[in-house]
């Protein structure tokens, strides 16, 4: 990825890029109607092949027409090449028996965007998203009608979890430069949901396009449904992320509470399986207790079954909690439990870096000094 390109975003002004490029006001090109169905011989772009992005891109390739091409990019080119080899083959060999799924690897986000009608990004955090779109938007992208299709605007779908303010600024930069349409669509469901294509997407996009019609969400929804099972339109730009941060704040707290409740019950002598059955059939049940229980033998397929490997890392949970806290400060919202939860995840990260965030249970267990720990179900 090129260095030295700085992109500045302002919610009320067009995109401005250092060293030339977009400066000042740019009149948007006339908008065309959005199609709710994929065009024949369409080209799709996917940026970011991490724990979530890899299975999402895999499901996308499996469900789009075989005649379509999927272009992928990741900073780790070896990972992108691995994806091409495991999931499909290069476009030149798309007719090979048993394959028929064209996949190309792009050297840069810019090259990918130039060739694609729909670009989906799944990146770790705000700096990564800003860097990628800085490269995509400088120099100014030609309208998709001039490069790919005469029927639709280029569509950017960012599924990264970042702060709503940054996302809205990026959306404004994309729209003011007439580079296409941008929506935020963070997801919930974890790696298990990404693999099973059962993710819930929280969509943030304007109710109406610039030409006054309301087809943008209608175009985006069936695309997201290729990778998930539910799409909830939360409101205008940034509102998908607002919903995601509220949800993940609750998840950060309930994960700790689940770990404490399980640790408490086992410390009092309860069988862990019976305790989990009680909680999951009572008012205390939640995703962390039922789907991602930190005790081995309770939630099939949960990270606890494999020493907390895979899943949603402690670092990512800490990042999302930090984003929620930042958004709360910006809007004057009090989060009473946030600081203590942040301290917990910081301590857990030091001892269990890279593990699924449900490893909080093991951290708590190690700090416990009393009770019979022989029935913990590990």
**Residue appearing with tokens 């977009």:** 22
Alpha-carbon span 165 to 162, nearest angstrom: 9
Residues 6+ apart with CB under 8 A from 165: 11, 238, 327, 330
Return d(Cα 248, Cα 190) in angstroms, integer: 11
Active site residue 319: no
Among residues 130, 244, 318, 355, the one annotated as catalytic is 244
Q: Which of 258, 273, 255 has the alpha carbon at shortest distance from 342?
A: 255
Backbone conformation region of residue 238, classed left if phi is above 0, alpha if psi is from -120 to 50, else beta: left
SS3 labels along 291-323: CCCCCCCCCCCCHHHHCCCCCCEHHHHHHHHHH
CB 280 within 8 A of CB 325: no
Token code pair at residue 247: 């949800």
Give the whole-angstrom CA distance, residue 156 versus residue 46.
10
Measured CA to CA, the distance from residue 234 to residue 215 in angstroms comes to 15
Q: Which residues are catalytic?
A: 244
């Amino acid at each position: 990825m090129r260095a030295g390109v700085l992109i500045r975003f302002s919610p009320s002004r067009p995109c401005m890029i250092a060293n030339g490029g977009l400066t000042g006001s740019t009149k948007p090109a006339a908008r065309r109607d959005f199609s709710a169905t994929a065009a024949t011989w369409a080209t799709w772009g996917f940026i970011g092949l991490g724990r979530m992005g890899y299975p999402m891109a895999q499901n996308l390739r499996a469900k789009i027409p075989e005649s379509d091409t999927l272009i992928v990019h990741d900073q780790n080119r070896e990972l992108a090449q691995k994806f091409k080899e495991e999931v499909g083959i290069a476009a030149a060999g798309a007719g090979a028996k048993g394959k028929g799924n064209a996949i190309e690897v792009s050297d840069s986000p810019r090259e990918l965007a130039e060739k694609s009608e729909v670009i989906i990004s799944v990146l770790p955090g705000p700096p990564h998203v800003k860097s990628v779109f800085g490269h995509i938007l400088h120099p100014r992208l030609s309208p998709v009608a001039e490069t790919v299709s005469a029927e639709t605007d280029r569509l950017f779908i960012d599924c990264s979890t970042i702060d709503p303010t940054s996302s809205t600024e990026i959306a404004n930069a994309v729209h003011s430069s007439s580079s296409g349409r941008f929506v935020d669509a963070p997801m919930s469901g974890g790696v298990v949901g990404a693999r099973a294509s059962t993710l819930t997407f929280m969509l943030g996009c304007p109710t109406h396009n610039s030409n006054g019609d309301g087809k943008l969400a209608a175009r985006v929804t069936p695309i997201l449904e290729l990778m998930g099972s539910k799409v909830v339109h939360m409101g205008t730009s940034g509102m998908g992320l607002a919903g995601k941060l509220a949800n993940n704040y609750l998840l950060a707290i309930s994960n700790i509470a689940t770990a404490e409740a399980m640790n408490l019950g086992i410390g009092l002598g309860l069988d862990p399986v019976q305790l989990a059955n009680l909680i999951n059939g009572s008012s205390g049940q939640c995703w962390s207790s039922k789907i991602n229980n930190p005790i081995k033998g309770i939630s099939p397929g949960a990270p606890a079954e494999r020493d907390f490997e895979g899943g949603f890392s402690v670092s990512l949970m800490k990042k999302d909690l930090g984003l929620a806290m930042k958004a709360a400060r910006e809007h004057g919202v009090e989060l009473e439990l946030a600081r203590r939860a942040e301290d917990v995840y910081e301590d857990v990260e030091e001892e269990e870096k890279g593990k699924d965030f449900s490893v909080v249970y093991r951290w708590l267990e190690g700090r416990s000094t009393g009770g019979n720990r022989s029935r913990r179900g590990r």
